[in-house]
Amino acid sequence: MVGAGTGVWKLVRGVRQLELHRLILALIVFCLLSMAFLAYYVSNSPKIKEAPPLPFSDCGGGGGGLSAGASTGGTGGGAGGQRAPLFLPPRQGRLRPIKAVDNSRTEPVVLVFVESIYSQLGQEIVAILESSRFRYRTEIAPGKGDMPTLTERNRGRYALVIYENVLKYVNLDAWNRDLLDKYCAEYGVGVIGFFKANENSLLSAQLKGFPLFLHSHLGLRDYRINPNAPLLYITRPNQVEQGPLPGEDWTIFQSNHSTYEPVLLASTKSSEALTHLGSGPLRALHATVVQDLGLHDGIQRVLFGNNLNYWLHKLVFVDAIAYLTGKRLCLSLERHILVDVDDIFVGKEGTRMKVSDVEALLNTQNKLRTLVPNFTFNLGFSGKFYHTGTDEEDRGDDMLLRHRKEFWWFPHMWSHMQPHLFHNVSVLAEQMRLNMLFAQEHGIPTDLGYAVAPHHSGVYPVHSQLYEAWKSVWDIRVTSTEEYPHLRPARYRRGFIHSSIQVLPRQTCGLFTHTIFYNEYPGGSKELDKSIRGGELFLTVLLNPISIFMTHLSNYGNDRLGLYTFESLVKFVQCWTNLRLQTLPPVQLAEKYFQIFPEERDPLWQNPCHDKRHKDIWSKEKTCDRLPKFLVIGPQKTGTTALHSFLSLHPAITSSFPSPVTFEEIQFFSGPNYDNGIDWYMDFFPFPSNVSTDFMFEKSANYFDTDVAPKRAAALLPRAKILAVLINPSDRAYSWYQHQRAHQDPAALNNSFHGVVTAGPAAPRDLLTLQRRCLKPGAYSTHLERWLQHYQPNQLHIVDGSLLRSNPALVMEGIQRFLGVTPIFNYTQALTYDESKGFWCQRVEGGRPRCLGKSKGRKYLEMTPESRAFLAEHYREHNMDLLRLLNRLGQPLPSWLREELQSTSWS
């Protein structure tokens, strides 16, 4: 019985365990099904849409996406707190005469002393100077040692001096400090200095040599602007930035001397911080930025008690530069902004504008017009995508068109394809005509003269078919791109003009096609607000007189971040600055831009293959392999044509195709041919059969002494090697004169050579032109130094022109080794001397010579001793400079230079 009972019990227990397992398995299946259903529901049901963020209120609450009804009051920290106006009374009993800044006897260049080339503050200083297009020079701050040369020919070389670390300035050795202070006082040059406390900084100390005390390692709050500070220009002083300032390493300045005027002031965070400041109320104001009016030693200065990390410091720094240079380094208060809304009909369902979004767009545009004269959203369209959303979004498209005359409109491509993919102008133009037909059918205005290519394709690097089609179909006169010369850093973006179309730089504003919701902004919504409130977006407006901002359709649906961003930005700019914002149509905007920056009219072509983004939007039918590996730059009448013919004999070296106008010379980097663009230039070169071993080159002898040629060549061919052929400059001048006589130049025919080179400044213009072309190229060191500003010394090879004439095989062997070309070609067998011509020529079948044309190797009378003596004296210093340059480069002296220097020394 016991055994039977035990068996029954085991059976019951097994059944129960089986049921428990089944129950657990059923629960697992139920959970999985529930999760799958929930995922499906979440992904397919519409989101519960939150109210779009509210833009910042007028010089009040921080906005920052506060929902309707949320409080903006209180004294809480950070950007969200309410700001109260500040009116600081002027100090009683101090009538301080301020000496007007006059540094007109200086060049408009800033001298920046940095701690190292990698220091963060130094890089921020340089970034602001570059963004403002101010010329500057950086030097490692000397503790001891030589100060850079400050004057040249009774003019100051610098209009402003900036020290990243003001202690390096005050602790200069006596000699250099006296030298710098005398320069600043005599030439009216101011000094900007920064003091950033570190772990070794004293809590309190007197600034050496100044009646000024520093108190460091402080936590501060509630930043204020002193309206009495003379340097204020852009900065508007009626605001208080409430809340704690970032960090506990602030420095304040104290002084009883009347030369110091506070610029920015703040309160300490706590009473503990005041123990080394003496007695005073907790909320007493302390100066963190002071302006030295020059009443102490005649030198005006601005000193910062921290770095440039805080946005208000950047604003005051820009004002300090303007004030201390007498507004020579300063932009006007006018700022022009244009907001482009790209792809107004292009977008996935759920990202497009609905009727309510269009209403909000119109309302915001009307509000902004009260703040920014003529403000108008500029809408870009690709007609193929009209009515491709949901029914609700299609109604939004219709409403846009009903109010089409309220906006400006510009075309993209009909199907939003990238123009560089079209190699046939006719096909590209047909795509544009489809878009034009759509515009005409829907009454969209098309007279703006402005267009933007999808993804900036074809604008830069230039796709010539795009420019041609734009002009023929739309009569486009203006476009914009973020790609010239490169996307990043943005401060380097510039404009240019090509094929009569003005290309303006375009700016991003932190909004992209995927930035749709405020709370899902990359890095958090605070990143967007930070950009608006003194960050990247604010600085873009501050440092650029003209800004075209790129936004997208998706930024105006859902949370309408485009509206939030620009309404907030405009209000913030007007709260904190005196800038006058306005909007102009693109053609007028382009005219304004090139009035401000006329030097940007001419482009600087760069190699598309050196930038991955550029290569991606460059035609696949083009290749950078069709660019030369070396250049023969001249100068003229030194034997460059002979060198060209000798190089062309080498089996691995290929010359450019001849030009129907300039023969063996392309003359691309030196004149109007440059405007034709790199496609035109590359057409002069074949496709290499072997990229690594084939050496293509071009010879243009006027590159040598053309001012812009080195910069242009280095931009497109930064790795190219450079060959220059030098002969006695006196002989070169005489040869050019005879060359012009042979070409019937009246100035050469009617004047002797001596009369040409000795002509005075009152001589006829044509005579002075001939004189300049005779004499200027012979200042060899001057022109070589210009090339060495853009190329490394190991990229430059000086060819001895005299030796090239007498022993070309030896010269060509040296050139081959310099180029690294293989195999080494035997020029001894390839060349033969022609007695009748008087120089070496190509040896052809039967040992006969094949020489250059009749124009080469002309015979003419010897130069008169009188003229040679005059030129020897004229070129004496130039030849000495060439000697020093070649010694510095480690290059051998040409035989003619040794002879000339010996002859001049003997004389």
Residue 263 is encoded by which pair of tokens?
């610029």
Query: CA 629 to CA 627: how far, in whole Å?
Result: 7
Asked if residue 64 lies in contact with residue 53, where contact means CB atoms within 8 angstroms, the answer is yes
Q: Kindly give, in sequence order, each residue whose CB lies less than 8 Å from that of residue 243, ignoring residues fewer than 6 positions away.
A: 75, 76, 77, 78, 79, 81, 221, 222
Asked if residue 628 lies in contact with residue 794, where contact means CB atoms within 8 angstroms, the answer is no
Sign, CA torsion 310/313/318/319: positive
Q: Does 327 qualify as catalytic in the annotation?
A: no
Question: What is the DSSP track for 58-123?
Answer: TTSS--TTPPTT----S--SSTTSPP----PPPPTT---PPPPP--TTB-SEEEEEES-TT-HHHH
Residue 899 is encoded by which pair of tokens?
């002879």
Question: What is the DSSP track for 320-382?
Answer: HHHHHTTTSS---SEEEEEEEEE-TT---TTSS--HHHHHHHHHHHHHHHTTSTT---EEEE-
Q: Catalytic residue among 571, 622, 629, 637, which?
A: 637
Cis peptide before 461 (omega within 30 of 0): yes
Give the number of other CB atoms < 10 A from CB of residue 327: 13
Asked if residue 757 lies in contact with residue 867, where contact means CB atoms within 8 angstroms, the answer is yes
Query: CA 862 to CA 547: how far, in whole Å?
Result: 62
Tell me which DSSP letter residue 177 carries.
H
Asked if residue 905 lies in contact with residue 872, where contact means CB atoms within 8 angstroms, the answer is no
Q: Kindly give, in sequence order, each residue whose CB lies less than 8 Å from that of residue 785, ignoring residues fewer than 6 positions away.
A: 885
The candidate with the shortest Cα–Cα distance to 609, out of 601, 594, 620, is 620
Residue 99 is encoded by which pair of tokens?
């000496």
Query: CA 247 to CA 353: how far, in whole Å?
Result: 43
The candidate with the shortest Cα–Cα distance to 641, out of 517, 725, 753, is 725
Query: CA 95 to CA 78: how far, in whole Å?
Result: 37
Query: CA 526 to CA 247: how far, in whole Å?
Result: 18
Helix axes 640-647, 808-819, angle to 10 degrees: 70
Query: CA 204 to CA 207: how far, in whole Å?
Result: 10
Give the number of other CB atoms < 10 A from CB of residue 850: 12
Tell me which DSSP letter residue 513 carries.
T
What's the full length of the chain, in residues? 907
In our burial notation (b when 16+ CB lie closer than 10 A, e otherwise), range 666-697 reads: bbbbbeebbebbbbebbebbeebeeeeebbbb
Query: CA 601 to CA 614: how far, in whole Å?
Result: 21
Strands 721-726 and 190-194: unpaired
Alpha helices in 166-292 (DSSP H): 166-170, 174-187
The candidate with the shortest Cα–Cα distance to 666, out of 705, 627, 638, is 627
Radius of gyration of the chain from Cα atoms?
36
Residue 342 is encoded by which pair of tokens?
């790209």
The candidate with the shortest Cα–Cα distance to 283, out of 227, 316, 230, 240, is 240
Give the number of other CB atoms < 10 A from CB of residue 891: 13
Catalytic residues: 637
